Structure 1
Amino acid sequence: MTLHQAITVLIIDDDEDDRFFMEQAFKTDSPSTQLYLAPDGQQALDLLGSTRPLPDVILLDLNMPGLNGFEVLKRLKQSAHYQHIPVVILTTSDADTDQEQAHQLGATEFITKPTTYDGLSAIAQRIRLTLVK
């Protein structure tokens, strides 16, 4: 088994199944990955306030109750404490307007959620290899 650099990831998604499968994809790709999970935007921001180390990358769903992904992204990128963290939008949307707005607000990448576990695994690997320095 190849050892990978340990990374820390925050997954923000209101869908429990999506959080679970993404968590499993990261654990399969790199078992040393430290994961934080938040079911909504406000809990994610609260968690960030007490989490150390800060995540190396944040995966953020757009469509959530309360603070939606755009609102969370805006707050993250306006914060001196969190603006350096890459934020990957991982959502069911494939709308050009959502992609444009996400990039304007500072998202590092916009990914439409795949429909297979293999697709999620590929995302976990790509994030570890390309977004985390």
Structure 2
Amino acid sequence: MTNQQLITVLIIDDDADDRFFMEHALKTDSAHTRLYLADSGQQALDMLVLVHPAPDVILLDLNMPGLSGLEVLGQLKQSTRYQHIPVIVLTTSHAPADRERAYQLGASGFITKPTTQQGLSAIAKQIRLQYAV
């Protein structure tokens, strides 16, 4: 890989396996990836206060207990501190209403979670190419 630029990603997902496999895909794609992991929307919002610099991109699951992904997205995009951060919804949902609402709230992308590591690797590569600073 010739791209040696650092990318910082926050993964917000309540499913430990999904976090692990996305983390693996991102680290395999680039050794220059800094990752933060949150298992709930509230944990992510609390973590963002401590993360400097802010992540280059956030990967956000929709279906989580407590604050839903849509609620987290809404809070992020209403915050002058975080509204500039691209948020990609990465979810099992195929519902057009979820996609539409996510874009209305300011999502930069909406991806249905792939079922293979190859699919996650393709997402990791696209994130690096689009968001590495």
The TM-score range, normalised by the shorter chain, is over 0.9
Letter in 1 for 2:99: Q
Structure 1 residues 95-132: Cα deviation after superposition (integer angstroms, max 9, x where no partner): 11100000000000000000000000100110111234
* TM-score, normalised via structure 2 length: 0.97
Unaligned segments of structure 2, at least 5 residues? none
Which structure 2 residues correspond to residues 1-133 of structure 1 after superposition, within 5 A?
A: 1-133=1-133
Residue 26 (structure 1) shift: 0.5
Structure 1 residues 17-46: Cα deviation after superposition (integer angstroms, max 9, x where no partner): 000000000000011100000000000000
Partner secondary structure for residue 49 of structure 2: helix
Misfit runs of 4+, over 2 Å: 1-4
CA distance in structure 1 between the aligned counterparts of 2:106 and 2:42, rounded to whole angstroms: 19
Partner secondary structure for residue 50 of structure 1: coil
Letter in 1 for 2:25: A
CA distance in structure 2 between the aligned counterparts of 1:24 and 1:48, rounded to whole angstroms: 22
Q: Percent identity?
A: 69
Unaligned segments of structure 1, at least 5 residues? none
Letter in 2 for 1:39: D
CA distance in structure 2 between the aligned counterparts of 1:127 and 1:109, rounded to whole angstroms: 11
* TM-score, normalised via structure 1 length: 0.97
Structure 1 residues 50-97: Cα deviation after superposition (integer angstroms, max 9, x where no partner): 111110000000000000000000000000000000000000001111
Q: How large is the Cα RMSD of the aligned pairs?
A: 1.0
Q: Is the 8 A contact 2:89 2:110 kept in 1?
A: yes
Residue 2 (structure 1) shift: 3.0
Question: Which deviates further from its counterpart, 3-12 or 98-107?
Answer: 3-12
CA distance in structure 2 between the aligned counterparts of 1:29 and 1:131, rounded to whole angstroms: 13
